[in-house]
Amino acid sequence: MTTDFDDFVAATHDLFMAMRRNRGRLARTTAGLSLSQLTLLDAVLAHGPLLVGQIATHAGVSGPSATRMLKQLEQDGVVVRRRSPEDERKVVVDLTEHGRELVEEQHRALRESQRLDYESLSPREREVFVDVLRRMAGMIAKWSETPTK
């Protein structure tokens, strides 16, 4: 027999996995990008040109993984890498116009899908749903800060 807490844990896991799967699927079908690539590009779109290490941190991947993916994205004409104007030893990465279009195309497709689901909810359901999502986001952020025993 499961407890309410077990149901909460399972529902949280299901939500996280569904979001990852669907975002990854949408990225591949609309922009031809992997979820990992899109996560890197989202960081650059949101924060402007960044150092590779900063991109890796924002995306939650290792530096070598970010470097490898960014090299491929550079070959595909999605990003451009150049020496930092502040420190010639460092490399900053920015989106090309093509890269910006790919990321924005993926965002538009996701927003359209979200809009359709949002419109299917009653005004009260929308209010409750948004409140619960915001609370969940805060909880999830705290879970990564909580030391494990």
CB atoms within 10 A of CB 2: 9
Answer yes or no: is pLDDT of 30 > 70.
no
Residue 140 has pLDDT above 90, yes or no: no
| pLDDT at site 107 | 86
Q: What is the pLDDT of residues 110-119, one digit of tens each?
A: 889 889 999 9
Per-residue pLDDT for 52 more than 70? yes
Q: Does 14 score more than 80 pLDDT?
A: yes
Is the pLDDT score of 77 beyond 90?
yes
Domains of the chain: 4-143 (1.10.10.10)
CB 19 within 8 A of CB 29: no
